[in-house]
Amino acid sequence: MSTIGFYLALPFLYLISILPFPLFYLVSDGIYLLLYRIIGYRKKVVYQNLKNSFPEKKHEELKKIEKQFYHYLVDLFLETLKTLTISKKEAIKRCKLNSKAILLFNELYTQKQSCILVMGHFGNWEWAGNTFSLINQQQLYVIYHPLTNKHFDKLMYDMRTRFGSKLYAMKDTMRGMISNRNEINATAFIADQTPSPENAYWTTFLNQDTPVFWGTEKIAQKLNYPVVYVTINRVKRGFYEVNAEILVKEPKNTKEGEISELHTRQLEKDIKAQPEIWLWSHRRWKHKRK
């Protein structure tokens, strides 16, 4: 999109962001009809991913999950835009850390222990980052891929840092974490992205041969930060609950592949429990093991 196109779109993005929630979700329903019924955005990819992941499910079950996913995908996109204008009070109300998660992060902070957060594209990870920064004492760093469009990249950067989170560009992650070792912080890795097959740990995930980024495991072992698995469950439309549990206390003592296996199995369990809120439009299995 050109600079002119961005500035023409910007008022509409803010207009959607300031809508009251009942009207906001009516707009989402309308966009869902356009995206799913008329445009058919990545429908073949979504259905094939679902079919391969749940071979035991009948066509009718898969189509039901597919429709629920598209409803959720539009909600997720618009909820991300909500971050432009949402208040701190509303952000915390709509995405809560449960008591177990709050206790865990308070204990880590008291122990002056930085940690690595590992999660998937499951639930509203953007809202969870906002709430983490508003609730917890440690500094949150989120790893991200800079967008090619510099205007949208700045917009996303401003949204993600609005409530105090900081960002690492993916290529700068290790350098940034080492430079901030004297700070009590948490670094969030979204670990279900698609790495190049040559530099990946291979495992079975949702009944398919799947590459997993080595980076999360290797950095955890090098810095010996506890690895915390984060789940973002959708309680109901527009409301989320964040849970957290320690997967590994001392990564330096783990075997090769152990951390990658642990967080992959946890994510798989979450997806099976609430499949419609995972990012099925992502081409997760485009690479094959050589």
The span from the CA of 125 to the CA of 73, in Å, is: 13
Side chain identity, residue 117: L
Show the DSSP H helices in the chain as ranges: 3-18, 21-32, 43-53, 59-82, 88-94, 99-110, 125-135, 150-161, 173-179, 215-223, 258-273
142 falls in which pLDDT band (50, 70, 90)?
very high
> What is the pLDDT at residue 256?
94
| Section 191-202 average pLDDT | 89
> What is the pLDDT at residue 290?
76
The span from the CA of 154 to the CA of 135, in Å, is: 25
What DSSP designation does 170 have? G
CA end-to-end span of the chain, whole Å? Answer: 37
pLDDT in tens, 30-75: 999 999 999 999 999 999 999 999 999 999 999 999 999 999 999 9
The span from the CA of 168 to the CA of 177, in Å, is: 9
Whether residue 40 contacts residue 270, with contact meaning beta carbons closer than 8 Å, is answered with no
The span from the CA of 212 to the CA of 192, in Å, is: 7
Contacts of 46 (CB under 8 A, 6+ apart): 66, 69, 70, 280, 281
What phi and psi values does residue 147 have, to the nearest 5 degrees?
-80, 150
> What is the pLDDT at residue 74?
98
213 falls in which pLDDT band (50, 70, 90)?
very high
What phi and psi values does residue 280 have, to the nearest 5 degrees?
-70, -15
Helix (H) / strand (E) element for 258: namely: helix 258-273
> What is the pLDDT at residue 178?
97
4 falls in which pLDDT band (50, 70, 90)?
confident
**pLDDT above 70: percentage of residues in the chain:** 100
pLDDT in tens, 162-181: 999 999 999 999 999 999 99
The span from the CA of 242 to the CA of 233, in Å, is: 6
> What is the pLDDT at residue 1?
59
The yes-or-no verdict on residue 92 having pLDDT over 80 is: yes
Cα→Cα distances 180→97, 140, 168, Å: 25, 11, 11
| Mean pLDDT of the chain, nearest integer | 96
> For residue 104, which of 230, 254, 269 has the smallest C-alpha distance?
230
The span from the CA of 127 to the CA of 117, in Å, is: 15
The span from the CA of 211 to the CA of 124, in Å, is: 23
| Section 252-269 average pLDDT | 97
The span from the CA of 4 to the CA of 141, in Å, is: 32
Where do the structural domains in the chain lie, given as residue ranges?
A: 3-277
The span from the CA of 95 to the CA of 84, in Å, is: 16
Whether residue 260 contacts residue 167, with contact meaning beta carbons closer than 8 Å, is answered with no
| Section 182-211 average pLDDT | 94
